Chains A and B, each alone.
Chain A
Amino acid sequence: MNFCRYAALRRQLLIDPQVLKNGSCSPDVVMDNPLSQNPDSMWGRFFRNAELERMVDQDLTRLYPEHGSYFQTPGCQGMLRRILLLWCLRHPVYGYRQGMHELLAPLLYVLHIDLELLSEVRKVYEDHFTDIIDGFSFHENDWTHKFDFKKLPEYMEDCNGSESPVKINSLGELEPKIQTIVLLSDAYGTEGELGVVLSEKFLEHDAHCMFDALMNGTGGAVAMAEFFSPSPFGGSHTMFPPIIESSAALYHLLSIIDSSLHSHLVELGVEPQYFALRWLRVLFGREFALEDLLVIWDEIFAYENTKFNKPGTNDAESNVGVLNSSRGALIAAFAVSMILQLRSSLLATENATSCLQRLLNFPVDVDLLKLLAKAKSLQALAVEAINSTPLLILPRLHGRRNAGFTKAHIPSLDLTSPRTTLNMAHESYWEERWRVLHMEEERKQGSAASAEKQVPNRKKGWSERVRLRLSRTKCDPFRSKATFRKKNETDEGRKNIGGDVDFGHKIPAEVEEQDVKDTNFSTSETRCSSGCPGNEENSSNISDLSTPVRGTNDYVNMSGRSSVASNFSAEENDTDSVNFEPLQANPESSPLPVSELDPDDDTLNSTQNYHSVIKQAAGIKERKLLSDKFQLFWKFGRNINEGTSDRAAVSEDAIACDSGSDCNNVAGSSIVNGCNSTSGISKAEIIDQNLIFSLSDLGQSMLENIQVIESVFQQDPDQMGSLENCKNAIVGEGHITAMAALEELRKISNLLSEM
């Protein structure tokens, strides 16, 4: 049979370079030395085989650990390895792909189990295994008879090891199953003309043949190897790998059967190949336990695999090549019935990630028979669907693949189990896109989380704005660049600035802790966008609070800093001025929390308490202002995050130098703070200190700040001119708004001082 072929192949391909040296007559050593770069050299092949073997081994060690008693034994692993290596060497087009071992394993398992059963039956019913010809029973020991030599070794073993058999006289008395087994082993009976069907010695050969047949499709349509192939199927006229085509066919079938679920999934951006890849490549091997899988495979393989030949099909309209048989239709139908099983939970989820999670972690306790019955009922439909899967679907799929990235959440490719073996170029691109979006999403969630804490009633408008802001990336890099540059220009004052900036840097990392960050977010947000006067509120809060703690610089330094700050403020328009606005609201609310707050609270508590203060303040203010602020703040925080990573240390130093309430310093630092965001931790410390200060101090500092800002605005715009053009435009706008904001700040400070 194929045994000889397999044996020959084995000998030929799994070669040892040494062995060949003995026989061969001086191959060209220049070509065949171990270091030869020549790809044809024996050594080259040897190293390539070694590489392949390494990959195979990697997978084999992880194969079916729950059935480790069989699969992890060295004998079985050796067999699997040899079969896989041989197949891959014979089909270098496909190479070895993860998943092939999972196709082979159940085959081997089945063979092994059958063999075990056979040997057990043999032991028990030994009599029936003897050759009976013409009424005489000839034992295997009689060598004059021609019989199947292969049977000999096992039978000898069985004879030696058998217990005394139960006395059964005729074959007919045996159970039907055992009858079959006995008959199959009968080398001379009608069934035996095939030779012995099960044989332990040739287990490996059999498994290899089966695996080969499975992968090649034996002339039929469903060739599993196609699912591993990166290149378009020969017969198809689309430019997509077969696995993509099949996944598209799956979705097509689903749309016919259950269009609402289909549209729901499509809307979420759940591309079929995310989960279908795993399902199809291993023929559902990873979704079900081994025993269930065998049942499923029985059903699948019972269906014929001959290709459907639609007469009159012109080339323009192609069918999905690889699923183009009744077996293929059943596979598709089964997949669809699996999706339908999860229908309710899929429809309930609103994001693609959890959808995929549901699909990829198929529930264990499903009624398999129900699934199979459903699949069979859908199979006829599937045949039709697959025959008519229009080409149009696939380009759209491709288009959607790209579009989906920009729109919906892109679920991580990591979700599709370690066996995702899409084209490497695809994977890196997708992963990259996912990461970009995921980061944005994280930040959004981070700021959303913080925003929610602050302004629960405001979330809706804010999140919408955030989405809009998401697209606004043009000026942000400039921002971070400019701020970076600006920061480098100053020295002492820079520390505070750096500290402020770092606050934004730390924001995404410490979202949960630092509620105060929200206000800082708003600060940065205002800087980023233009013309949002309301945004400065919270930032001014923070700046004010932090000012009492600020540095040791005198007014001169402050003015230097403020000039820098003014640049910022100029760029980021009305940050500073607006900073002071919310204080009007805050003073009312802040006395209560301030008195309540225990200065000994840990930083977290204090920030949270302060945060609640701000919350109240925010509650008083206009909604729009705050939401805008959050957006800008978040945006800025993101930019700062990207732009500045080394200023953390600087900020820490800056903030560490707490001092008495030097109003001048306060003013200067407040400006700086107004312009930037400070590190969360430092903020916490500052807030601790701040709780101690009275409101009158705040008012005082506000006044100072206003003065400084005004003086700054009167400075010549050469500093502004140094900014990029983008900022100039914003600066112009901000300038006006800043003036307006300053006026308001002045009013607030007056109020405060009166209190």
Chain B
Amino acid sequence: MVLVLALGDLHIPHRAADLPPKFKSMLVPGKIQHVICTGNLCVKEVHDYLKTVCPDLHIALGEYDEETRYPETKTLTIGQFKLGVGHGHQVIPWGDLDSLAMLQRQLDVDILVTGHTHQFTAYKHEAGVVINPGSATGSYSSINYDVNPSFVLMDIDGLRVVVYVYELIDGEVKVDKIDFKKTTASST
């Protein structure tokens, strides 16, 4: 019952002023155990805000981040799952599943979380899951102007992860749910 929040590409303050209020009201401290951020926060204030949501914060370096000391990729283990974070602008073509799968094999993780495309996607392939939480503020990207704010909440429980996707469409929060099960409990 570990709740992991995945979000990124906020581009505050350059492209967006803040998270949508409906999202902010949902992100109450105390419920979430980990936060994974794909990058492009961009300023320290956002970092501090995310810290208030949950003290366990993992950030990957995006190309617009003002704090350059974040790592480019990061791996962590939660329960039975290994998670990897990267921003995604290094993976070319941007958002391509095969290339992302390459990165996933490189990092040797079950769940890879990347961003940069500002578009929510969640792919499953035989080696694991690739998740793109999109842009939590709905800021424009280099390839897309019309972006819906979205983020992802993962509920990791044993060998199973439930991915809740929260999207703000036309001012309403839409939630979707995807189930993934890990086939083997191997730790290799």
Instruction: Please list the residues of chain A having a beta carbon within 8 angstroms of any beta carbon in chain B.
Output: 16-18, 21, 29-30, 33-37, 46-47
Contacts and interface: CB of A to CB of B under 8 A. Distances in A.
Interface string B120-161: 000000000000000000000000000000000101010010
Contacts of A35: 26-28, 31, 153, 164, 166
B166 A34 contact: no
B164 A37 contact: no
A33 B1 contact: no
B61 to A, nearest CB: 27
Mostly, the B contact residues are strand
Nearest to A19: B157
A33 B177 contact: yes
B175 A37 contact: no
B176 A34 contact: no
B153 A37 contact: no
Nearest to A51: B30
Contacts of A21: 162
Give the size category of B's interface with A.
Answer: 10 to 19
B25 A33 contact: no
B174 interface: yes
Contacts of B28: 35
Q: Would you list the 7 A-B pairs with minimal beta carbon distance, nearest first?
A: A35-B26, A33-B175, A30-B175, A29-B177, A29-B175, A33-B164, A18-B157
B91 interface: no
B57 interface: no
B153 A30 contact: no
A34 B153 contact: yes
Interface in B17-40: 25-28, 31
B78 interface: no
A37 B174 contact: no
16 contacts: A16-B1, A18-B155, A21-B162, A29-B164, A30-B175, A33-B164, A33-B166, A33-B175, A33-B177, A34-B31, A34-B155, A35-B26, A35-B27, A35-B31, A35-B153, A37-B26
Given A18-B1, A47-B31, A34 B174 contact: no
B173 interface: yes
B97 interface: no
B155 A37 contact: no
A30 B172 CA distance: 10
A30 B31 contact: no
Contacts of A33: 153, 164, 166, 175, 177
Contacts of B25: 37
A627 to B, nearest CB: 56
A47 B155 CA distance: 14
B46 interface: no
B107 interface: no
Contacts of A16: 1
Contact of A29 (B1, B160, B176): B176
A37 B24 CA distance: 12
Nearest to A30: B175
Given A35-B153, A35-B166, A30 B173 contact: yes
Nearest to A47: B31
B43 interface: no
Contacts of B155: 18, 34
B3 interface: yes
Interface string B164-188: 1010000001111100000000000
A30 B164 contact: no
Given A18-B155, A35-B26, A37-B26, 16 more contacts: A16-B1, A18-B1, A18-B162, A21-B162, A29-B176, A30-B175, A33-B153, A33-B166, A33-B175, A34-B164, A35-B27, A35-B153, A35-B164, A35-B166, A46-B1, A47-B31
Contacts of A18: 1, 155, 157, 160, 162
Interface in B50-68: none
Contacts of B177: 29, 33
Interface string B1-23: 10100000000000000000000
